[in-house]
Amino acid sequence: MAVDTLRNDRFLRALRREPTDTTPIWVMRQAGRYLPEYRATRAKAGSFMGLATHPEWACEVTLQPLERFDLDAAILFSDILTIPDAMGLGLSFAQGEGPRFERPVRDAAAIERLAVPDMDRELRYVMDAVRLIRRTLDGRVPLIGFSGSPWTLACYMVEGEGSRDFARVKALAWNEPALAHRLLDIVARSVSAYLIAQAHAGAQALMVFDTWGGMLGPGPFREWSLRYMAQVVDAVKADPASRDLPVILFSKGANGHLEAIADTGCDGVGLDWTIDVGEARRRIGDRVALQGNLDPSVLRASPDVVAHEARAVLDAFGHHPGHVFNLGHGITPEVDPESVKVLVDTVHAHGRAIRGG
Ligand code: CP3
Domains of the chain (ranges, CATH numbers): 10-354 (3.20.20.210)
In this prediction, residues 151-166 reach a mean pLDDT of 96
Rounded CA-CA distance 71/65 in Å is 8
Indicate the pTM of the whole model: 0.97
Give pLDDT, residue 3: 56
Q: Which 3 state secondary structure label does DSSP give 253?
A: coil
pLDDT at 22 over 90: yes
DSSP, collapsed to helix, strand or coil, labels residue 119 as coil
CA distance 246 to 277: 20
Distance 133 CA to ligand 1 centre (A): 18
Is the pLDDT at 11 greater than 70, yes or no? yes
Site to probe by mutation for ligand 1, drawn from 26, 29, 81, 195 as the one with most ligand atoms within 8 Å of Cβ, is 29
Mean pLDDT of the chain: 97
Distance of alpha carbon 345 from alpha carbon 337, whole angstroms: 13
ipTM of the complex: 0.94
Instruction: Tell me the pLDDT band of 2, cut-offs 50, 70 and 90.
Output: very low
Please work out whether the CB of residue 93 comes within 6 Å of at least one atom of ligand 1. Answer: yes
User: Residue 4 — very low, low, confident or very high, per pLDDT cuts 50/70/90?
Assistant: confident
User: What Å distances lie between residue 222 and 53, 137, 185, 273, CA to CA?
Assistant: 34, 38, 14, 22
> What is the position in ligand 1's atom list of the atom closest to the CA of 332?
35
Ligand 1 midpoint to CA 352 (Å): 32
Return the pLDDT at 121: 98
Q: How confident is the model at residue 151 (pLDDT cuts 50, 70, 90)?
A: very high
Which helix (DSSP H) or strand (DSSP E) does residue 251 occupy?
Answer: strand 247-251
Please give the average per-residue pLDDT across 77-92, as a whole number: 97
Q: How much is the average pLDDT of 274-286? A: 97
Q: Residue 72: what are its φ and ψ, rounded to 5°?
A: -100, 0
Asked if 142 and 74 count as a contact pair (C-beta separation under 8 A), the reply is yes
How confident is the model over 233-272, as pLDDT tens digits? 999 999 999 999 999 999 999 999 999 999 999 999 999 9
Give the model's pLDDT for residue 248: 99
Residue 1: pLDDT above 60? no
State if residue 155 touches ligand 1 by the CB under 6 angstroms criterion: no
pLDDT tens digits, 169-193: 999 999 999 999 999 999 999 999 9
pLDDT of residue 95: 72
Q: How far apart are CA 263 and CA 267, in angstroms?
A: 10
Is residue 203 within 8 Å of 76, Cβ to Cβ? yes
| Portion of the chain with pLDDT greater than 90, in percent | 97
Q: How confident is the model over 20-24, as a mean pLDDT? A: 98
Residue identifier of the C-alpha nearest atom 31 of ligand 1? 98
